[in-house]
Amino acid sequence: AQKVTQAQTEISVVEKEDVTLDCVYETRDTTYYLFWYKQPPSGELVFLIRRNSFDEQNEISGRYSWNFQKSTSSFNFTITASQVVDSAVYFCALSERTGNQFYFGTGTSLTVIP
């Protein structure tokens, strides 16, 4: 079974629209960490956020916000007023207190149309 599921393979939005990227995870550990990375067309992987399992407060950083809900095992990412520069593949990832792995989702490709 997938540890991290990003059900949305591709999303297209028109510039200035809001968009939410879904991430559902699966773990038996009580201590774990969730991440989002951005991979723009240039190819590098850029770290966006890290959240631990004990911190369910939502996070806002400029136009980016993250909603962590343990009850639904989700860690969704919202971009407000999307811009063309937001076009990228976004990866959600999970690491557990036990183990040596980062479990990456399959990514969501976001295209923002001008």
Partner 1 sequence: DAGVIQSPRHEVTEMGQEVTLRCKPISGHNSLFWYRQTMMRGLELLIYFNNNVPIDDSGMPEDRFSAKMPNASFSTLKIQPSEPRDSAVYFCASSFGRAQETQYFGPGTRLLVL
Site string for partner 1, 12-51 (x = CB under 8 A): ---------------------x-x-x-----xxxxx--x-
HSE, side-chain direction, 13 A CA sphere, residue 54:
3
Confirm or reject binding of residue 95 to partner 1 (CB under 8 A): yes
- Asked whether 55 and 68 are in contact (CB, 8 A), the reply is yes
Q: How far is the CB of 84 from partner 1 (least distance, A)?
A: 22
What Å distances lie between residue 93 and 31, 81, 82, 111, CA to CA?
14, 24, 22, 21
Is 19 or 107 the residue whose CB approaches partner 1 more closely? 107
Position 9 contacts partner 1 (CB under 8 A): no
**Exposed, middle or buried, 57 (CB in 10 Å: 0-12/13-18/19+)?**
exposed
Contacting range for partner 1; rule: CB under 8 A; set: 18-26, 65-73, 79-87, 95-103: 95-103
Look up residue 86 and give its amino acid.
D
Q: Which residues would be at the binding site for partner 1 (CB under 8 A)?
A: 33, 35, 37, 43-47, 50, 91, 95-97, 99-102, 104, 106-107
